[in-house]
Chains A and B, each alone.
Chain A
Amino acid sequence: MAHDTFNSLLMGYLDGELTELERQRVEEHLDLCPQCSAELVAFRRLKEMTQPMRLAIPDDRHWEEYWSHVYNRLERRIGWILFSVGIILLASYGVYQMLAHLLLDEGISILMRASIIALVVGFCTLLVSVVRERLHLAKTDKYRRIKR
């Protein structure tokens, strides 16, 4: 029997998870292979050592409150999404109103209006450019995992 196949079956043998036929095949191999027999002994000792141990689990209180924590997070996430959408809409509307007011106000000189338009267009261009560059780098930069 190939050792790779045997290694897996050895685990099943150790844990009592094999069929009768598989168990016989393993025992036949073990009779002929002292190296595998020695491995089995070592694995058995490891299993015996961890047998009286178990994963520490949180007390009952944590399980009783588990669902309410999940529920609160679900609710908060929806709250945050609505809050963020509201802020974005309000900010956009505010900027639009401000620009409309400034640009339509005849008391403001043409130079001032042109400056405001240039400022807003320039800011938007820079923002789009930086965001596009960041997105591109995040996908393609081969040194992105190296810490500066």
Chain B
Amino acid sequence: MILSEEGSFIERSQRGDREAFEFIVKKYMKPAYYIALSYVGREDDALDLSQDAFVNAFRHIKRFDASRNFFPWFYSILKNLCMNHLTRRRRRREESLDGMAEDGTQVAIPIESSNPERETVSRDLREKIGQALVRLKPRDRQIIVLQHLQDMSYREIADLLGIPIGTVMSRLYTARQALRRELELMGIRY
């Protein structure tokens, strides 16, 4: 069987070649980070979790079929890690007296202006959008982050998450509706 370039790096990784795995990590580290961030909302946690997901992927890479796309398989590992992290965080929050995040801060997805030299959007609005995103369900938040904040095409999102384009569209509709509701609750007019 003729393997793609990625497939051949996967096959070498399956034989324990870490340099080959380095190629895979460098190819996917940024999408992995974006997805982890869309789940957990904190930069440090997102970096940590995405790196842990690569470690887990390497440990189990022999089970993976090298002729398939790596990212949808990796995505399921990353998603599980993020969901476990969120469950642990929720438990810690339930145990704390004030019901806030464990370090007492309000988590918000970090958003910056796409043109940092010209501050076209106020910091206050960016923070509010970041907070509204955190209140969404992880699945809704993820699709908004990828489409709105990473400007990915439907094809790119579908390939990344391993879902059909029709599902991308229906998820976007649900997520945008949820975001609109959150913004209205926060009194943001747009």
Chain A residues close to B by CB (< 8 Å): 7-12, 15, 17, 42-43, 45-58, 62-63, 66-67, 69-71, 73-74, 77, 147
Contact = CB atoms under 8 A, between A and B. Distances in A.
Count chain A CB atoms within 10 A of each CB in B22, B110, B149, B173 and give the residue with the most. B173
B25 A63 contact: no
B148 to A, nearest CB: 4
A55 B173 contact: no
B147 interface: yes
Contact of A63 (B29, B151, B172): B29
Count chain A CB atoms within 10 A of each CB in B30, B51, B125, B183 and give the residue with the most. B51
Contact of A54 (B33, B91, B114): B114
A147 B91 contact: yes
A46 B176 contact: yes
A52 B114 contact: yes
B129 to A, nearest CB: 7
Interface in B21-39: 22, 25-26, 29-30, 33-34, 37
19 contacts: A11-B172, A11-B173, A15-B154, A15-B172, A46-B179, A46-B183, A50-B149, A52-B115, A52-B121, A53-B112, A55-B34, A56-B43, A58-B33, A58-B43, A62-B47, A66-B29, A70-B25, A70-B58, A71-B22
A71 B24 CA distance: 13
Given A17-B154, A46-B179, A70-B55, A57 B33 contact: yes
Contact of A53 (B25, B126, B179): B126
Contacts, number: 113
A43 B25 contact: no
A48 to B, nearest CB: 8
Contact of A67 (B25, B154, B165): B25
A43 B43 CA distance: 28
Contact of B110 (A17, A46, A56): A56
A45 B147 contact: no
Contacts of B176: 11, 43, 46
A77 B55 CA distance: 9
A17 B34 CA distance: 22
